[in-house]
């Protein structure tokens, strides 16, 4: 059984996202922390930065905390900004482009967590 946890997210370091331009990630909770089902990440994309097109077999949900940009999911492009929530179904190509610096929470199932965070 997992135990409860509280973290000061400001004490966690951002690391670069491979293949991106100006995108950084903080792993807040993952299986390494005892999270049995979902992982939570904080993602920052600098103004003009991008997370290029990619896809994977798991869904994820994001919540925009700050900034604005565009998210393309499949054939549709959405303008997003602070307070917007986005659901991305499994296996759909998607990409992000920041118009201003964007900061968002991204939640994924543990199936999508890389080995170093398990």
Residues of the chain with pLDDT under 70: 1
User: Model pTM?
Assistant: 0.95
Give the pLDDT confidence score for residue 2 in this predicted structure. Answer: 72
Task: Tell me the sheet residues that pair with 66.
Answer: 103
How much is the pLDDT for 94? 98
The domain covering 26-117 belongs, at the CATH homologous superfamily level, to Jelly Rolls (2.60.120.10)
In sequence order, what DSSP letters do the residues of 19-50 get, joined into one string?
T-EEEEEEEEE-GGGT-SSEEEEEEEEEEEEE
- For the chain, the structural domain boundaries read 26-117
């Amino acid at each position: 059984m997992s135990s409860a946890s509280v973290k000061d997210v400001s004490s966690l370091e951002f690391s670069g996202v491979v293949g991106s331009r100006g995108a950084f990630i903080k792993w807040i909770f993952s299986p390494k922390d005892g999270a049995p089902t979902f992982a939570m990440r904080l993602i920052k994309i600098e103004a003009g930065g991008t997370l290029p097109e990619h896809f994977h077999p798991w869904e994820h949900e994001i919540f925009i905390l700050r900034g604005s940009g565009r998210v393309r999911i499949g054939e549709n492009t959405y303008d997003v900004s602070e307070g917007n929530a986005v659901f991305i179904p499994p296996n759909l190509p998607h990409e992000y482009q920041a118009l201003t610096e964007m900061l968002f929470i991204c939640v994924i199932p543990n199936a999508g967590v890389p080995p170093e965070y398990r």
